[in-house]
Amino acid sequence: MSTTMMGMATRVPFVCAATAPNQCHKYCELPPSLPLPVSSSSLRLRAHSLSSSSSLGFFSLAKKRNEEGVNRVTREFRVVAMAESAKSTVLVTGAGGRTGQIVYKKLKERPNQYVARGLVRTEESKQNIGAADDVFVGDIRDVGSIVPAIESIDALIILTSAVPLIKPGFDPTTGQRPEFYFEDGAYPEQVDWIGQKNQIDAAKDAGVKHIVLVGSMGGTDLNNPLNSLGNGNILVWKRKAEQYLADSGIPYTIIRAGGLQDKDGGLRELLVGKDDELLKTETRTISRADVAEVCIQALNYEEAKFKAFDLSSKPEGAGSPTKDFKALFSQISTRF
C-alpha cells in the first residue's frame, strides 16, 4: 500500500509600498525611532530586509506545519494498521451445522474484532449459510482439502461431528425406540477422530495460536447411551481427539457441552464443571447460542487457554445471566 502526501501550499505576504513613513506593510513595521527623513533607497533596503525575514519565518512555519501533517497522517495510518492487525482471523469448521452456523454468524456480526471464515462439507451447505467468499468447502477426512481454509488464520473453532441417522421405517406411533446408523465413511472414528486430528495437524502446521474444540459431556462413562448409537462409540472417539489436542502443544479450550437446545442465548446463568459431575444434577442442558458465545469469548481471555470443562446452564429465570466470561473461565482449573 502506498500513501501519497500532498505538500501544503505556503502563502507569503506581499510587500507593498509604504503607506506611511514608518510602515511598509502590516507584517513589516519600521521602528518609530528611525530618523526622518528616510531616503527611498534606505526605506526599500530596510523593507526588503524585514520582509525577507518575515517571508523566511512563514516558510519555516509552513515547513513545520507540513511536517506536522505528515506525522499526523503517519500516526493515523499506524492506528488503522494496528486496528487491522488486531483483528483475529477465525475459522469455524462445521459451519453448516446448527451450532456452527450460530458461531459463524456471531463472528460476522463483530467485524471490528474478527475476520470470519467457515468450512462446510458441501456446496449445498455453503449456499445455506449465504455462499460468501469466506466459506470454504472441504472434507475434514482429507487434510489436503482443508489446508486452504486454515492458511493464515489465528484461531480455529472445531464444531464438526459425526451425526447418527434414524434407520428408515421407524414409526413413532408404535412407542418403540428408534434405531440409528452412520453413513459409510461418516462413522465417529472417521469424523470425530481422524477428521479432528487432521484439523489439529493442519492448524499446527499453519501456526494457529488457539483451538477451541466443542465436544460433549458423558465421555467418562463407556456405557453412556450415546456410545451405543449406531455402535459408533462416538464419545470414545471424541475423547481421543480431545486428548490429542491437549497433547499437541497448541493453546486450546475444550468445551464439553451438555444437551443442546435450540433456544435464545444470553438469558441464563452458565455453569462449568469437570468429569461429568453436571450430569448428576438437574442442570444438564444448554442452548446452542450460549455454547456459541462461550466459543467466541474463549478467544479473548488467557484464563480460557489450556482448559477443558463441562458446560451447562441453569433454567431461564434461575440465577443471573452470565456476562463476566473472564470470571467464568477463572473458575476452571482442569487441563483435561
Catalytically active residues are 216
Backbone angles phi, psi at 286, to 5 degrees: -160, 150
Name 182's Cβ contacts closer than 8 Å, sequence gap at least 6. Answer: 162, 163, 164, 165, 188, 230, 232
Q: Which residue do the cell numbers 474463549 mark?
A: 298
Stretch (H or E) spanning 41: helix 40-86
Q: Which three cell numbers stand for residue 155?
A: 484461531
> Please, are residues 97 and 118 in contact by the beta-carbon 8 Å criterion?
no
Cα(283)–Cα(26) distance, rounded to whole angstroms? 84
- Comparing C-alpha atoms, which of 142, 151, 103 is closest to residue 121? 142
Return the exposure string of 21-37: e unless at least 16 CB atoms fall within 10 Å of the residue's CB, then b: eeebbebbebeeeeeee
Q: What is the largest CA-CA distance in the chain?
A: 125
Q: Where are the alpha helices (DSSP H) in 138-232?
A: 143-150, 188, 196-205, 225-228
